[in-house]
Amino acid sequence: AALLTTLAKLLFHHANAENETPAEIMRAVDRDFRSILGARSFMTAMCVALDVESGAGSIVGAGHPPLLVARHTGQTESIASSSPPLGLVAASSFSETGVQLGGGDLFLLYTDGLYGAGEANERRLAPAEVAKQLLDAPGDAQSLLHDLLREPIASPVAPVPPDDIAALAVRRLNGKN
């Protein structure tokens, strides 16, 4: 897993240097990932380009959990992946979804480990619970991440094997990020 994570980081870094849009970046990463590993492996990914001045963003997802947006108005949105995981299908198409963040709006990217396993008999948040916590999150993005990762929620279902947990939150304050 560590080797694939390192490979992904390098592929995205290289693709970002050579391409301008999230769709072009994902296309390049997918092509390079398949050329290195063939069809022996795949990875999920979400690529976001955000203009910090205007709040306009463009998103491309490949088999990744949805990007969640919490609006300052109290609404939540979910932007689902529109493409299969990288490396899974030859010549995937990657379409971009636009988003506009206003002052006080927040978006959250996360791995499935956030709502996967917790310790022993605990489960972490379900996707719907993550969206609810976004609405209830006062303050900055760092506080939200702290609250999301602090306490797993008990669940009556059987425990799931441990998984990675990663999350990135961005809140736009007073028209700026």
Q: Where are the domains of the chain?
A: 2-171
Q: Domain 2-171 is classified in which CATH homologous superfamily?
A: PPM-type phosphatase domain (3.60.40.10)
- Mean residue pLDDT of the chain comes to 81
41 has pLDDT over 80: yes
Return the higher-pLDDT residue of 48 and 159.
Answer: 48
Residues 6+ apart with CB under 8 A from 92: 27, 30, 62, 83, 84, 86
- Cα–Cα distance measured from residue 92 to residue 118, given in angstroms and rounded to the nearest whole number: 34
Per-residue pLDDT of 65-82, as tens digits, reads: 899 998 888 888 989 999
Residue 153, pLDDT score: 45
Residue range 98-133, pLDDT digits in tens = 999 999 888 999 887 766 544 544 555 566 667 667
Provide mean pLDDT across the span 74-101. 92
Question: When comparing pLDDT for 92 and 143, which is higher?
Answer: 92
